Each structure stands twice: as structure tokens, then as C-alpha cells.
């Protein structure tokens, strides 16, 4: 099934979407305020169409145990010194940062057109999932399911055809989702910011960072940027 999409006219969306070479921290009062409000050792910069807020010094992921190699230093060694060595030599080095794509601030008309376009895409997605065949392969009756060894909550499809159809609907749905226009997450005086999801550790989000001051700094910057969320 190849759903036909009626697109909203996007001329006004495309106009002004291209990155402006004149974007600058110093030209925007909100970005200047953010710069002044950052903790010591943090910087704000624009590279191309990306804005970065970063901690200059590395931080480290807190490891659960002090390695035996460090414990062998003896009882006379302060635990704080052992922890510092363990974290900085055994823990994962982290680059604490916030990243955004930055554009010239959208007009109200541009935002309305983008939302209208996204709504039209969502309507097509809704129609896709309303297809009786989609409902059948994703919400079949109990006879279509065969429980796996993993438990009653996990199921496999009894036919390869149904499995392929399920993959088809997922693929078509994602194609439609990719056609949606990304909406800005934050607004400054002259610009819009679009969140770039990044992780501060190789294995995903972490619970604790060394030194402890870096934890507080990261939270401070997070709260600072939250003030400029659209809708706040």
C-alpha cells in the first residue's frame, strides 16, 4: 500500500530555512545572558549551524568500586585521593555539553504552516494504521498468537507473511514520520534552537559524575536552558 500524501505548500517554510552566516552569540541578548550565566569553566560557541555549550575540563563517570590496584596504596592514603585517582584513571572521561541546531527565529506564520504540514502527515499516518490489515497483523485475535518461552507477554507471528506485513507498516509509518518538519524547541531574541540529543557517556546517561561540582554545574546549565523552552 502506497498512501498518497497531499502536502501543505512549503514555500514559506523553505524560505529562510537555510543557515545564516550572520548568526552570532554577541548579536542576541538571550545568548549573551546565557554566556554570562554559565558556571566558571563553561563556554558557548557557534560552529556552522550548531550551538555548543560545553564544560572545558573533562569530568569522569563514577565507578562503583575503587580498584584493588589503588587500594594497595595502603590505609594511610586518604580515601578522597584514592577515589580521585580511580575516577580519573579508571572511569570513562566525559565531555559535558549541550548541543543545538540554530536558525534565524521563525515567524508565527512559518510555525503555523509547519504545524499544518505535520498535522497533514499525522492524518495520513492515522489512516495507515486504520487499515484493517494493519489492525489484523498488529492486533490479531488470540488464535493468531503463539506464546514464546519468554512468557505470555511475548509473542511471535505464526506466518512469515504476517511478519513481513508488520515490517511493511512500520517502515511506511517511519517514512511518513520522517516527512514531518522539525519544530524548534527553544527561542532566544533572534534565533530558534533545535535540541540535538547527545549522551555524556559512552554507554548512555549516567547517574553520577566526578568531580561532584560537575554534577551541579550540569544541572545549573540544564535549568538555565529550560527557561527558554517554547511554551514556558
- Same domain? 153 vs 102: no
- Does residue 62 lie within any of the structural domains? yes
Last residue of a domain, one of 144, 163, 182: 182
> Does residue 3 lie within any of the structural domains?
no
Which residue among 182, 203, 221 closes a domain?
182
Residue 30 shares a structural domain with residue 93: yes
* 1 found inside a domain: no
Last residue of a domain, one of 140, 162, 182: 182
Residues 89 and 26 in one domain: yes
For 176, the domain range is 122-182
What was the pLDDT predicted at 6?
45
Domain count across the chain: 2
221 with 203, same domain? yes
Q: Same domain for 144 and 190?
A: no
Q: What is the mean pLDDT of residues 146-153?
A: 51
Residue 55 pLDDT exceeds 60: yes
Q: Name the residue with higher pLDDT: 168 or 148.
A: 168
91 in the same domain as 14: yes
Q: Any idea which of 70-74, 100-104, 131-135, 218-222 has the lowest mean pLDDT?
A: 70-74
User: Does residue 139 sit in the same domain as residue 93?
Assistant: no
- What average pLDDT score do residues 52-77 get? 67
Q: Check pLDDT > 50 for residue 11.
A: no
Instruction: Tell me whether residue 32 is in a domain.
Output: yes
What rounded mean pLDDT belongs to the chain?
Answer: 77
Average pLDDT, integer, range 31-44: 97
21 and 69 assigned to the same domain:
yes
Higher pLDDT residue, 52 or 135?
A: 52
Same structural domain, 200 and 97:
yes
DSSP string, the chain: ------PPP-HHHHTTTSPPTT--GGG-HHHHHHHHHSPTTEEEEEETTEEEEEESS-EEEPPSS--HHHHTT-TTS-HHHHHHHHHHHHSPEE--EEEEEEEEPPPHHHHHHHHHHHHHHHHHHHHHHHSHHHHHHHS--GGGEEEETTEEEEEEES-HHHHHHHHHHHHHHHHHHHTSPPPPSEE-SSEEEEEE---SSTTS--S-EESHHHHHHHHHHHHHHHTTBTT-
pLDDT at 145 over 60: no
Amino acid at each position: 500500500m502506497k498512501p498518497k500524501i497531499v502536502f501543505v505548500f512549503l514555500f514559506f517554510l523553505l524560505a529562510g530555512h537555510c543557515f545564516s552566516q550572520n548568526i552570532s552569540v554577541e548579536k542576541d541578548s538571550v545568548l549573551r545572558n546565557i554566556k554570562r550565566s554559565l558556571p566558571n569553566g563553561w563556554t558557548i560557541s557557534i560552529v556552522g549551524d550548531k550551538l555548543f555549550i560545553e564544560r572545558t575540563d573533562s569530568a569522569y563517570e563514577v565507578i562503583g568500586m575503587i580498584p584493588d590496584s589503588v587500594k594497595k596504596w595502603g590505609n594511610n592514603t586518604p580515601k578522597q585521593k584514592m577515589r580521585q585517582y580511580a575516577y580519573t584513571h579508571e572511569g570513562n572521561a566525559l565531555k559535558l555539553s549541550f548541543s543545538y541546531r540554530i536558525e534565524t527565529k521563525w515567524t508565527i506564520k512559518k510555525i503555523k504552516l509547519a504545524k499544518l504540514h505535520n498535522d497533514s502527515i499525522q492524518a495520513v499516518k492515522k489512516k495507515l494504521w486504520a487499515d484493517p490489515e494493519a489492525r489484523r497483523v498488529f492486533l490479531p485475535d488470540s488464535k493468531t498468537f503463539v506464546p514464546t518461552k519468554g512468557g505470555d507477554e511475548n509473542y511471535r507471528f505464526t506466518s512469515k507473511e504476517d511478519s513481513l506485513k508488520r515490517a511493511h507498516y512500520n517502515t511506511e509509518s517511519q517514512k511518513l514520520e520522517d516527512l514531518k518538519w522539525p519544530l524548534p524547541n527553544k527561542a532566544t531574541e533572534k534565533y530558534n534552537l533545535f535540541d540535538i540529543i547527545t549522551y555524556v557517556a559512552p554507554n548512555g546517561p549516567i547517574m553520577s559524575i566526578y568531580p561532584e561540582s560537575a554534577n551541579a554545574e550540569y544541572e545549573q546549565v540544564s535549568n538555565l536552558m529550560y527557561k527558554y523552552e517554547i511554551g514556558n
